[in-house]
Amino acid sequence: MALGVVAVLLVAGGIAAASLLGRKGEVPTEPYGEPAGAAPHDSWQAVSDTEAKLTFEVPPDWELADDDESLTTSNGVKLGHLADWGRYTCQGGEYGRAFAASGVAQPDRKPGKAAAELAAAVAADQYSDGHRTAAVNVGKPQSLAVDGAQGAMVRAEAALPQVDETDECTSSKGTITVVALTTAAGNSVLVIAADSVPGPDQPTPLADPARLEAIVKSLRVVA
């Protein structure tokens, strides 16, 4: 994904196939269970979002953005406390393999719906380009609780349609994980986005799924 994610909104032309956005009412959730506490990571970096009432940890080789850097998704959610991993350059552009961010989603809906909408928006924003719109498949929300806060986790898969002329640098597929929790701030969210396949012209490794899951499990609610 392009590293413009760290500072600006990537405007998508729309979602070709987002399976949950057209439904009315609250999206049913499947139980996920309270995440087990992450194994101790003495060298991991703690990220604290006082506005969203959340903390999480990222591995030591992830790069933390400046405090004033943020992105606003196509569904209007401002995400900050950005961290990214797997930077590489290709044909003069700078890209990254994965990022994490937090924020507060719309308060007028339940966590499952907020997480599903945000996952779909981030997937389309990050994997659509100027010529093609990513097809987005949003999974069913899984209910969970973190430090007593109730919420839901949603995963979305994004894929660009295959055409003769493709971008040699960027990934055509990615996975977005969103955890939304009901806190004193509202619908507090953690977002993790990661490429699923490399682009044709760059060998930079993909993010380790176990590490991405460990970031999710490190999520905590603060007063």
Q: Rounded distance, CA 220 to CA 37, Å?
A: 9
CATH superfamily of 3-221: Mog1/PsbP, alpha/beta/alpha sandwich (3.40.1000.10)
Q: Rounded distance, CA 189 to CA 156, Å?
A: 15
Is residue 49 within 8 A of residue 55, CB to CB? The reply is yes
**Tell me, what DSSP letter sits at residue 211?**
H
Residue whose entry in the numeric block shows the structure tokens 């909408």: 117
pLDDT the model gives residue 41: 65
Q: Rounded distance, CA 100 to CA 11, Å?
A: 19
pLDDT the model gives residue 176: 98
The residue extents of the domains of the chain are 3-221
Residues of the chain under the 50 pLDDT cut: 4-40
Torsion of CA 30, 32, 34, 39, to 10 degrees: -160
pLDDT the model gives residue 64: 98
Compute the Cα dihedral for 88, 5, 126, 185 and give only its sign: positive
Secondary structure of residue 84 in the 3-state scheme? strand
Q: For residue 88, what is the enclosing H or E element? A: strand 88-90
Alpha helices in 14-169 (DSSP H): 111-127
Secondary structure of residue 214 in the 3-state scheme? helix
